[in-house]
């Protein structure tokens, strides 16, 4: 309990700038938790769909794959479903359609990361603003009573240092998590592209062999 009070007193000394810094930390933490849960590989690259794709050996298997994809919602399921439902299109048109669908679905993977990047950029700046305000208070005190009263100067100095510490403590982890999630999202996109490309190659191989698959065209 005493430690919590000490932390609270420490933060209060940071002044009003601690309010936007606190909001920034809460927003950043919420985004980190959400992306940690939503960007899990098993949640994006759904094992049931991958198993269905691996099990495709003939055109009749595509209907089962369509049914399985329709049970799920997400970038992977939607992109694979696009391939399956438009398998009669020429290969260039199908690839272009999949690429367009992929660009739309990537937004779901990267949702919230712009806000996290903003937190990473703005937190140190808020800390710097608090530093400037604290230093300004020190100069005002010096102008009024001189430099002989160290206790009178400590308030502004504490505010300057605390806001800097808190701003950097928020900004540095936010940058690390932002880069981590961006890299994870890009790797997931590459895995989805690999699965969809393999499926297109398999379908077009059958088409060239005169055994074009006939998957369901509508959900």
Residue 131 has pLDDT above 90, yes or no: no
What is the reported pTM?
0.80
Residue 116 has pLDDT above 80, yes or no: yes
Neighbour count for residue 93 (Cβ, 10 Å): 11
Spatial separation of the C-alpha atoms in residues 126 and 19, rounded to whole Å: 10
The per-residue pLDDT for 175 is 96
pLDDT tens-digit profile of 151-206? 555 666 777 788 889 999 999 999 999 999 999 998 998 898 888 888 888 877 76
Backbone angles phi and psi of 10, in degrees to 5: -60, -45
Spatial separation of the C-alpha atoms in residues 29 and 32, rounded to whole Å: 5
Place of tokens 């391939």: 83
- CA 19-27-5 angle, to 5 degrees, is 45
The per-residue pLDDT for 210 is 54
Q: 98 near 200, Cβ under 8 Å? A: yes
pLDDT tens-digit profile of 84-96? 888 788 878 888 8
Spatial separation of the C-alpha atoms in residues 123 and 24, rounded to whole Å: 7
- Three-class DSSP category at 71: coil
Domain ranges of the chain: 14-208
Tokens of 15: 């002044």
């Amino acid at each position: 309990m005493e430690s919590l009070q000490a932390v609270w007193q420490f933060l209060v000394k940071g002044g009003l700038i601690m309010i936007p810094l606190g909001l920034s930390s809460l927003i950043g933490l919420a985004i980190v938790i959400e992306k940690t849960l939503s960007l899990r590989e098993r949640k994006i690259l759904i094992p049931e769909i991958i198993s269905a794709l691996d099990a495709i050996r003939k055109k009749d298997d595509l209907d089962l794959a369509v049914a399985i994809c329709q049970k799920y919602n997400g970038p992977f399921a939607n992109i694979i479903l696009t391939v399956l439902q438009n398998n009669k299109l020429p290969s260039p048109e199908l690839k272009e359609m999949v690429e367009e669908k992929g660009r739309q679905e990537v937004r779901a993977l990267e949702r919230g990361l712009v806000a996290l990047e903003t937190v990473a950029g703005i937190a140190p700046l808020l800390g710097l603003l608090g530093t400037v305000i604290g230093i300004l208070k020190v100069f005002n005190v010096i102008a009024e009573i001189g430099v002989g009263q160290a206790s009178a100067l400590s308030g502004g100095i504490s505010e300057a240092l605390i806001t800097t510490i808190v701003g950097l403590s928020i900004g540095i982890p936010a940058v690390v998590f932002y880069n981590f999630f961006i890299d994870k999202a890009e790797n997931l996109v590459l895995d989805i592209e690999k699965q969809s490309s393999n499926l297109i190659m398999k379908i077009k191989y059958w088409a060239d062999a005169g055994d074009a698959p006939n998957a369901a065209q509508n959900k």
